[in-house]
Amino acid sequence: MKIIMLGAPGAGKGTQAEKIAEKYGLPHISTGDIFRKNIKEGTELGREAKGYMDKGALVPDELTVRMLLDRVSKNDCKEGYILDGFPRTIPQAEALDAELTKLGEKIDYAVDVEVPDENIVKRMSGRRACPKCQATYHLEFIPPKQEGVCDECGTGLVIRDDDKPETVQKRLSVYHEQTQPLIDFYGKKNVLHTVDGTQDVEDVFKAIKDILK
């Protein structure tokens, strides 16, 4: 069972990927983790990727796909895997598709966790973090006992740059421009399934489990 998680930043696809991984015993694979592991271990692929990153250049899709295929060739991926954060663009999806076809494999499910932009801005701009102990809160869903103060250590809470409304809007714009076309791509392959990500986390997970049956 090979699954791709789609959805805007802040839609909750990472949370759902973790829950799917736990229930079905599948590895949850993010390209960020693959990059960090290869670079840390000094693999040939890692050294190649680091060369681009050190120059401030984007790692080419071809190299990213090679790193991904190296990861999914491991024994723990024999029964399948969940890809989170890849592919992000149509060229990446086409490259992945071509390589999987060569192996006689394909993506079985592309699960799109759909949440309107205004909900995402509200979700993310409500997050607060403790700069000292890293505890996290949400003004609406997990508020601190005392407004603006960490329950754990009493430090003043801050809003991270990534969670500021203007930053969230920029990230959403990039998502709609680059990643949203993937929904059409996987729709044409008849593997796309959309779930309402505005529901409670457990309700979203139940909807995904119904799809994966």
Write down the catalytic residue from 37, 50, 88, 164.
88
Cα 182 → chain centroid = 14
- Catalytic residue flag (residue 189): no
Task: Give pTM, 2 decimals.
Answer: 0.83
pLDDT of 107: 96
pLDDT of 156: 96
Q: What are the extents of the domains in the chain?
A: 2-26+79-115+170-212
Write down the catalytic residue from 19, 71, 127, 128.
127
- Catalytic residue flag (residue 13): yes
- Catalytic residue flag (residue 171): yes
Pick from 28, 113, 99: nearest CA to 67: 99
* Residue 59, pLDDT above cutoff 90: no
Residue type, 10: G
pLDDT of 140: 87
Q: 156 pairs with which residues across the strands?
A: 149
Contact 52, 59 (CB under 8 A): yes
Write down the catalytic residue from 106, 160, 170, 189.
160
Q: Classify 114 in phi/psi space as left (phi over 0), alpha (psi -120 to 50) or beta.
A: beta
- Catalytic residue flag (residue 128): no
Q: What is the per-residue pLDDT across 128-170, written as a single tens digit (0 to 9) for each?
A: 999 999 899 999 889 999 999 999 999 999 999 888 889 899 9
Task: Report d(CA 31, CA 65) in Å as an integer.
Answer: 9
3-state secondary structure the chain: CEEEEECCCCCCHHHHHHHHHHHHCCCEEEHHHHHHHHHHHCCHHHHHHHHHHHCCCCCCHHHHHHHHHHHHCCHHHCCCEEEECCCCCHHHHHHHHHHHHHCCCCCCEEEEEECCHHHHHHHHHCEEECCCCCCEEECCCECCCECCECCCCCCECECCHHHCHHHHHHHHHHHHHHHCHHHHHHHHCCCEEEEECCCCHHHHHHHHHHHHC
pLDDT of 55: 86
When mean pLDDT is compared across 23-27, 70-74, 112-116, 191-195, the lowest value belongs to 70-74
Q: What is the per-residue pLDDT across 5-57, written as a single tens digit (0 to 9) for each?
A: 999 988 999 899 999 999 999 999 988 888 888 999 999 999 998 888 888 88
pLDDT of 149: 96
Write down the catalytic residue from 13, 71, 123, 128.
13
Structure tokens at 2: 């090979």
When mean pLDDT is compared across 120-129, 189-198, 204-213, the lowest value belongs to 120-129
Check whether domain 2-26+79-115+170-212 has CATH 1.10.3720.10, yes or no: no
Contact 157, 128 (CB under 8 A): yes
Pairing of strands 127-129, 136-138: antiparallel
